[in-house]
Structure 1
């Protein structure tokens, strides 16, 4: 596991000189001061001063828990800014228009801060980098290169398209997951209602009749009694367990263990691997397509991979690149990416068509991921229905057996 995966992300304020001698100032997230220094050097800057600072608190009146615009709002901002620039409007005027029609207070304040930074003489890249991590490193570095090459409008449109693809895929997964989640919620609620309100009435009937309940019915009665007596404590325990699990997942070792366990699951592991493949191919392909050098692109992909096993493999690939070796071997040894991806990367590296290969594989595996998610959830739905139906049927049959025992006693 790399050092990046072991430390929590901090915010640093930096001052640096670019290749032309111009002064840069802004904020950057990183594991440590050394990692920020190394990142600035990788970007071609000469660091002058780097010091840790506190992450900004949400401004009053901002929406959401973090006070930051949502991912979809940033995508819309990117798309609209690209359209205005293509129409021939200067950057500062475009931001003024977007600030007046942002649609949310948090987005409007972000655009106004960008406009203020640019009016003060900073570039769009510098203004975005000074927003405390609102814009991902992949985003800001593509903007930096676009400004240097004079293709800002085109690159912003590509960024928007890439983000729209990712958000569309996330939306499909969420929509497909809603029905199974609703099934589980309704099933749990139905079982609780039966045990709390229905079963006690039948138990009272059996007790008044003086008959002995069958073993299955007695077990259901005992379950009902326990739930009624300990329901509040159970609810509190579930809430405490959820909070504890959330805190535990923030620990690097616990998160790594969970991610490893997910990768080993038969259906979920396949989906996780496909998701990592799509994110890796799409992000690296878009970065290379927009002029980011391969070592810098690999570092950025590592930082946004979202999976510690993948981050460790990408870190080894980045180290190979710095030493003049092929970056593909560490990816092949990780076992996270399908063999066809590794083979296509080798062909692309040998023929000089790496960017084209990456974008082609991103489209291909995005379709596979969509199909796999749909199939997995389609399989889960009948399994959930059968399990829930079986449990409810067991409860009903147990109660009916007790009722029948009362009738037998009356005869």
Structure 2
């Protein structure tokens, strides 16, 4: 949502502008956090605001998350070297490695040259910059620490992307094995088994039970392959269509699956610790930071728990009790955060725990898929061996009868 606000500064000066936020209450919180007294906050429609907002979506032409991270890193370095913001944006636009990034930086540079702040320019770029990113930039601009905050954002995004790449590379090989296994069994049942079926059936001998089962599976697959394919496509469409409704239930179910649930819990814990720690480290107060994390955490049960923590903070209670009751986060994290809350070192505790759990996740993922890979190979080998032995036993019985 885009909001237009009017406020008074601490010196009594009149302020006005536009702000991207998830709700009117968020705009009020941001103005109070910046030391302003809000007078009026009104929501603007999609065409208002004096600027052109970039459409978001699959074909929006926005840069990839890695390119956004590179832009953040380079902008922080240039500002730290003493370059003005508009000149730094111009350098990045000229040296951008992709047209989509160059266009994005060019739009940001035009907005900044037109008198908008960097935060306002970022908020006009659709989904290229998430709300957390814009919020941290807004606070950094108000406190004069923009280059430092940009480097912190880049560092956090780099670690998150590294973790995602590691998990993807570990999952890719087992998934490839499963696809190859299904393909191999399908080829055996649709091409190999039918070649032996007529010979075995016309031999006049009793077909062994194992061979009868394999031939029956082959006949069923050949007769119903179109229904089976249609059912799979229909199931995929049904899941995609109902995903917003069933997402929370599916995530809760997966969290309870052995091994997989442990990996998901660790990944959720890392994202929570790193995101909340970065927000607190960059000057955003705990209630506003907790609300932001709940909006972007990507896990419905966790988002509900974080909303309860936000409500607890608004009522003057500790935010840790709802997190503990949700049982989505390890007890050691709750204990460490309780100590950090009491000692006033909550942000450093969160960032430290994100490092600890990241190392644990890397070990857990490596060990889990080290176990899965030979199990998948053994399972595939066993199924194919069962099909081959079943057919060969029937063929051997025919040869024995002929002798």
Q: Under a length normalisation based on structure 2, what TM-score does the superposition of the two structures give?
A: 0.91
Alignment-derived partner of residue 230 in structure 1: 224
Aligned residue pairs, count: 388
2:167 is the alignment partner of 1:173: yes
2:358 is the alignment partner of 1:371: no
2:295 counterpart (293, 303, 310): 303
1:354/1:42 Cα in 2 relative to 1: closer, same or farther (>3 Å)?
Answer: same
CA deviation string 1:213-258 (max 9, x = no partner) = 222212211221222233244223322322221122122xx11110
Spell out the pairing of 1:156-235 with structure 2 (5 A cutoff): 156-235=150-229
Alignment-derived partner of residue 29 in structure 2: 42
1:190/1:211 Cα in 2 relative to 1: closer, same or farther (>3 Å)?
Answer: same
SS of corresponding position for 1:211: coil
Do 2:4 and 2:19's aligned partners in 1 also have CA atoms closer than 8 Å?
yes
1:239 counterpart (233, 258, 264): 233
Spell out the pairing of 1:7-26 with structure 2 (5 A cutoff): 12-17=1-6, 20=9, 21-26=14-19
1:17/1:128 Cα in 2 relative to 1: closer, same or farther (>3 Å)?
Answer: farther
2:81 is the alignment partner of 1:92: no
**How many angstroms apart in 2 are the aligned matches of 1:321 and 1:271?**
29
The Cα of 1:19 is off from its aligned counterpart by: 5.2
**How many angstroms apart in 2 are the aligned matches of 1:135 and 1:129?**
7
CA deviation string 1:298-349 (max 9, x = no partner) = 1111111111111111111111111122111111111111111111111111
The Cα of 1:364 is off from its aligned counterpart by: 0.5
1:385/1:294 Cα in 2 relative to 1: closer, same or farther (>3 Å)?
Answer: same
Alignment-derived partner of residue 35 in structure 2: none
**How many angstroms apart in 2 are the aligned matches of 1:362 and 1:17?**
39
2:147 counterpart (153, 162, 178): 153
SS of corresponding position for 2:126: coil
Alignment-derived partner of residue 33 in structure 1: none
Do 1:209 and 1:406's aligned partners in 2 also have CA atoms closer than 8 Å?
yes
More deviation, 146-155/232-241? 232-241
1:236/1:206 Cα in 2 relative to 1: closer, same or farther (>3 Å)?
Answer: same
**How many angstroms apart in 2 are the aligned matches of 1:215 and 1:146?**
74
SS of corresponding position for 2:31: coil
SS of corresponding position for 1:43: helix
1:367/1:292 Cα in 2 relative to 1: closer, same or farther (>3 Å)?
Answer: same
**How many angstroms apart in 1 are the aligned matches of 2:200 and 2:102?**
67
**How many angstroms apart in 1 are the aligned matches of 2:127 and 2:66?**
16
The Cα of 1:382 is off from its aligned counterpart by: 2.0
Alignment-derived partner of residue 323 in structure 1: 315
SS of corresponding position for 2:329: coil
CA deviation string 1:339-390 (max 9, x = no partner) = 1111111111111111111111111111111111111111211221222122
Q: Under a length normalisation based on structure 1, what TM-score does the superposition of the two structures give?
A: 0.90
Alignment-derived partner of residue 351 in structure 2: 359
More deviation, 401-410/156-165? 401-410
More deviation, 116-125/105-114? 105-114
**How many angstroms apart in 2 are the aligned matches of 1:210 and 1:354?**
79
1:65/1:380 Cα in 2 relative to 1: closer, same or farther (>3 Å)?
Answer: farther
Do 1:27 and 1:131's aligned partners in 2 also have CA atoms closer than 8 Å?
no
Do 1:19 and 1:44's aligned partners in 2 also have CA atoms closer than 8 Å?
no
